[in-house]
């Protein structure tokens, strides 16, 4: 039987609207340049989603050979946090957010333009889900804006070499739009989230030399999903995806042995069915600890020797890499 607070949460989630936070804001286009947006996030309501649109006004000059999905690789890091230190997105690339949770929670690839060797404007829309539309009570998690005097969203860009094999004399002007999906009304005093969604990056691993990844551990972190990518490039969620890297995956700890164990190819086909995707995701698997759609099933991270392990396909040559984006929920700092 739902509590009165849970009923109020569901009612708030059914009465939302989209609000603009930034429109046409200038973005630092220097390689490694970082731009912060922090002044116009609302205070009082719940924020369920943040949508970041990056627009690239390209003057092509002598640039040649555009890179497939280059616009995703160009947006190197997205960071979002409250001023009390609670981090919602911890320096995650646009590609990881779009090709991982963006597809799984939306059912299809979020919209983005492929860069061409032509002077034009190119856009990418990056969703950040603070609630969880897949869960039975997805509204249990959201950004409670009452907790923060300030919320910051920061974007760090790469170089024109992420867009073109031969950048030549190309130049760009970058702008950003930021929208939020928020509750129409402010949160009632007796309504609280159980925590907040945090997207965390893990180390990139060469599976020909190391057969595991030590997962981040903390007393306030609960793993909901691990979005894995196998590809032929050393960067985080970069390079062409490949399904001929890993044979199987498993999550283990010395406390409880196996938490997850499955065949790579079978799992990607099950992901297609379970998440209602248009097609199976090449070179990507979702390790889902909350398949029953309850946050109570999330994997508590503070376990001894918590690892993501794998076996590689026979004869795997050097040059393949494993990336992992973790979707977690964290307890509020005073409740950790």
Which pLDDT tens digits describe the chain residue by residue (336 residues)? 667 767 777 777 778 899 999 999 999 999 999 999 987 899 999 999 999 999 999 999 999 999 999 999 999 999 999 999 999 999 999 999 999 999 999 999 999 999 999 999 999 999 999 999 999 999 999 999 999 999 999 999 999 999 999 999 999 999 999 999 999 989 998 888 999 999 999 999 999 999 999 999 999 999 999 999 999 888 899 989 999 999 999 999 987 777 888 999 999 999 999 999 999 999 999 999 999 999 999 999 999 999 999 999 999 989 999 999 999 999 987 744
Query: How far apart, in Å, do the first and last CA atoms of the chain sit?
Result: 27
Q: What is the pTM of this model?
A: 0.94
Domains along the chain? 4-183 (2.60.120.730), 202-335 (2.60.120.730)
According to the model, what pLDDT value does residue 167 have?
97
Whether the CB-CB separation of 216 and 200 falls below 8 Å is answered with yes
Going through the chain in order, the beta strands assigned E by DSSP cover 16-27, 34-37, 46-59, 64-66, 75-82, 87-92, 120-129, 143-144, 151-157, 164-166, 171-183, 196-201, 212-214, 221-231, 246-253, 257-263, 284-288, 299-300, 307-312, 321-330
Whether the CB-CB separation of 55 and 123 falls below 8 Å is answered with yes
According to the model, what pLDDT value does residue 336 have?
43
Cα gap 245→256, rounded to integer Å: 27
Q: Please name the residue that has the structure tokens 């997207």.
A: 199
Q: Which of 73, 54, 72 is nearest to 123 (CA)?
A: 54
Name the maximum alpha-carbon separation found in the chain.
65
Listed in sequence order, the residues at least 6 apart from 128 whose beta carbon sits closer than 8 Å to its beta carbon are 49, 50, 51, 52, 78, 80, 88, 89, 97, 199
Whether the CB-CB separation of 118 and 17 falls below 8 Å is answered with no
Burial 321-333 (b: 16+ CB within 10 A, else e): bbbbbbbbbbbbe
According to the model, what pLDDT value does residue 1 have?
62
Report H helices in 46-133.
70-74, 94-97, 103-106
């Amino acid at each position: 039987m739902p509590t009165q607070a849970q009923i109020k949460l569901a009612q708030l989630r059914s009465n939302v609207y989209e609000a603009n936070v930034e429109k046409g804001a200038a973005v630092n286009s220097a390689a490694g340049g970082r731009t912060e947006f922090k002044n116009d996030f609302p205070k009082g309501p719940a924020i369920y989603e943040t949508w970041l649109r990056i627009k690239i006004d390209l003057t092509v000059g002598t640039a040649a050979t555009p890179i497939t999905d280059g616009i995703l690789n160009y947006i190197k890091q997205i960071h979002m946090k409250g001023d009390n230190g609670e981090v919602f997105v911890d320096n995650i690339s646009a590609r990881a957010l779009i090709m991982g949770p963006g597809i799984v929670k939306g059912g299809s690839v979020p919209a983005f333009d492929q860069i061409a060797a032509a002077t034009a404007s190119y856009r990418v829309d990056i969703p950040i889900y603070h609630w969880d539309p897949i869960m039975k009570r997805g509204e249990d998690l959201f950004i409670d804006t009452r907790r923060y005097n300030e919320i910051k969203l920061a974007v760090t860009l790469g170089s024109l070499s992420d867009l073109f094999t031969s950048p030549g004399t190309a130049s760009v002007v970058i702008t950003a739009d930021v929208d939020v999906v928020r509750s129409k009304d402010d949160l009632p005093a007796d309504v609280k989230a159980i925590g907040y969604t945090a997207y965390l990056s893990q180390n990139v691993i060469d599976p020909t030399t190391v057969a595991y990844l030590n997962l981040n551990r903390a007393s306030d972190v609960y793993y909901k999903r691990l979005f894995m990518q196998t590809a032929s490039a050393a960067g985080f969620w970069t390079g062409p995806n490949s399904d001929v890297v890993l044979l199987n995956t498993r999550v283990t700890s010395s406390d409880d042995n196996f938490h997850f164990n499955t065949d790579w190819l079978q799992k990607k086909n099950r992901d297609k069915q379970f998440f209602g995707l248009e097609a199976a995701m090449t070179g990507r698997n979702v390790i889902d600890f909350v398949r029953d759609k309850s946050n109570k099933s999330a994997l508590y991270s503070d376990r001894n020797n918590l690892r993501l392990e794998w076996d590689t396909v026979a004869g795997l040559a050097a040059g393949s890499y494993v990336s992992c984006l973790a979707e977690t929920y964290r307890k509020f700092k005073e409740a950790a």
